[in-house]
Amino acid sequence: MTSQLKVLVADPDERIRHMIRSTLERHDLSVKTCPNAKDAIHLLSAEHFDLVIAEYHLHDMAGDEFCWLVHRTYESPLMLLSHPLDERQIVNAFQQGIDDFIAKPFQMHELEMRVFAILKRSQIKANPSIVTFSAIRFPEIEINPLTKSVYVQGKYVPLTAIEFKLLLYLAEHTDKVCSREELLREVWNYRSFDDTRTVDTHIKRLRIKIGEISNNVKKYICTVRGFGYRFDATSNHRATQTG
């Protein structure tokens, strides 16, 4: 993606706001938070958000009214959070234009997946030619450029932004030997290459994190001595891209 996607979180519970923000920021999303509808409307009036995540029971505005306002005035996708609502309330919220509803308490992994599904739909709707969000899959590993997430044997691997960019670059250039200088230029945006040990350090961390789940997948990242690294894509585990 050429720029960060922006998410607004409106919830009276500071703990919830912090938890969602810290989780989404690990995926390189830009996140702003606020405790009430008034502050949310002020932020929405000042800038566009690619997604709004809001508690249904905001203290200063009825949930239905907030849903209608976000959908009609600001045209941002809206995910609603709440302790269980009755069927009438949920149906009415969807009629007011929400894109998803998740009941509290919830697992952060479930929220992540719902967030990324909404962002993917909205980005493709805005630009149907988008193809860079396709997941890259090898046996035992999936790398998703949209969600900036990696799964090994179906288990989420928590990577830093740089670790993800490094792995993605190698996977997108399967079978190509990438020099340390190339990786510093393309992943770190460095223009001087005085210390190539930075690459080695991050490769080591990647292997450790992936190896905690699968020693086989760890071996996909191959060292080419005296030059750099390549992502092994032999005939036994050729990658596929899926939308």
Output the pLDDT for position 134: 65
Cis-peptide into 35, omega within 30 deg = no
Cβ–Cβ under 8 Å, residues 167 and 159: yes
Give the integer Cα–Cα distance in Å for 66 and 38. 10
Output the pLDDT for position 237: 44
Give the integer Cα–Cα distance in Å for 136 and 217. 14
Output the pLDDT for position 235: 40
> Which of 131, 109, 107 is CA-nearest to residue 120?
131
Output the pLDDT for position 10: 97
Three-state DSSP at 242 gives strand
Give the integer Cα–Cα distance in Å for 108 and 22. 11
Instruction: For strands 149-152 and 178-179, give the pairing.
Output: unpaired
Q: Phi/psi at 107 (nearest 5 deg)?
A: -85, 135
Q: Estimate the share of the chain in helix, then strand, then coil, as percent rounded to the nearest 5.
A: 40, 20, 35
Average pLDDT by stretches of 10, the chain with 243 residues: 79 96 88 96 94 94 89 89 85 85 88 84 62 72 86 90 92 86 89 80 95 91 90 56 45
Half-sphere exposure of 146 (CA within 13 A, CB side): 21
- Enumerate long-range contacts of 135-138, CB under 8 Å, 24 or more apart: 135/241, 135/242, 136/168, 136/171, 136/172, 136/239, 136/240, 136/241, 137/239, 137/240, 137/241, 137/242, 138/171, 138/217, 138/220, 138/233, 138/237, 138/238, 138/239
Which domains are present in the chain? 6-126 (3.40.50.2300), 135-242 (1.10.10.10)
pTM above threshold 0.85: no
- DSSP letters for 28-93: T-EEEEESSHHHHHHHHHHS--SEEEEES--TTS-HHHHHHHIIIII---EEEEES---HHHHHHH
Q: Which two tokens stand for residue 199?
A: 């690459």
Output the pLDDT for position 139: 84
